[in-house]
């Protein structure tokens, strides 16, 4: 029995192997999956909080009543890099229409998150969640956050209205989901 446990500890770890090969993946990939949740099937509002990459305290009560896009990401995630411009484009499209965007960085420290935002032109804040995992845990109560990137659209009540697992393949799907959530009566 002991030898089986010892051998299983030596089993290959695909993420570790990717790191050793220098492939810089280090993320859990997923095919693009988009799920919309009917208003009468949505769970409770998600209350979340944290500290942004600039050291500012943030709580979801600050954006209460807005449609909110929450993107789970980190800087070394290839798909996160690719979709950054699409997230920013949708943010720019809706920023004057009771819509908020918040990133949740699940891996990096503030300096890395700020460098990423500067390099990719991201203008909305991100919570640094690597040390506590509090933001991810708040959402895990109502929807799985198992792949990076994952993007959620919250309705005006703060309930998960849509989930996108995997890299956005352009701004169109997210823009439509945000527009649909905005069109719902409060």
pLDDT tens profile 83-133: 999 999 999 999 999 999 999 999 999 999 999 999 999 999 999 999 999
At residue 146, the 3 state secondary structure works out as coil
pLDDT band at 20 (very low <50, low <70, confident <90, very high): very low
How far apart CA 76 and CA 154 sit, in angstroms, is 26
Q: Which residues share a beta bridge with 15?
A: none
pLDDT digits (tens, 9 = 90+) for 25-37: 444 445 789 999 9
Q: Is 161 helix (H, G, I), strand (E, B) or coil?
A: strand
Cα torsion at 56, 78, 134, 160 (round to 10°)? 100
What Cα–Cα distance (Å) separates residue 156 from each residue in 11, 96, 171, 173?
46, 15, 21, 19
Cβ within 8 Å of residue 88, ≥6 positions away: 120, 121, 122, 123, 124
Which pLDDT score is estimated for 13?
37
Task: List % helix, strand, coil for the chain (3-state, nearest 5).
Answer: 40, 20, 40
Calpha distance 26→178 (Å, rounded): 29
What per-residue confidence (pLDDT) applies to 128? 98
Say which residue, 169 or 12, is predicted with more confidence: 169
Nearest to 125 by CA among 139, 138, 135, 137: 135
């Amino acid at each position: 029995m002991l030898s089986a446990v010892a051998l299983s500890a030596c089993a290959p770890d695909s993420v570790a192997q990717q790191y050793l090969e220098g492939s810089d993946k280090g993320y859990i990939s997923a095919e693009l999956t988009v799920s919309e949740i009917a208003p009468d099937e949505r769970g409770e509002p998600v209350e979340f909080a944290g500290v942004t990459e600039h050291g500012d305290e943030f709580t979801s009560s600050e954006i209460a009543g807005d449609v909110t896009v929450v993107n789970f990401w980190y800087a070394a995630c290839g798909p996160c890099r690719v979709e950054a411009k699409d997230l920013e484009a949708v943010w720019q499209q809706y920023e004057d229409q009771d819509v908020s965007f918040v990133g949740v960085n699940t891996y990096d420290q503030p300096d890395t998150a700020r460098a990423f935002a500067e390099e990719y032109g991201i203008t909305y804040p991100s919570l640094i969640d690597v040390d506590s995992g509090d933001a991810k845990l708040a959402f895990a109560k109502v929807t799985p956050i198992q792949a990076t990137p994952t993007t959620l659209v919250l309705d005006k009540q703060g309930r998960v209205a849509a989930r996108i697992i995997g890299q956005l393949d352009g701004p169109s799907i997210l823009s439509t989901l945000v527009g649909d959530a905005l069109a719902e009566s409060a």
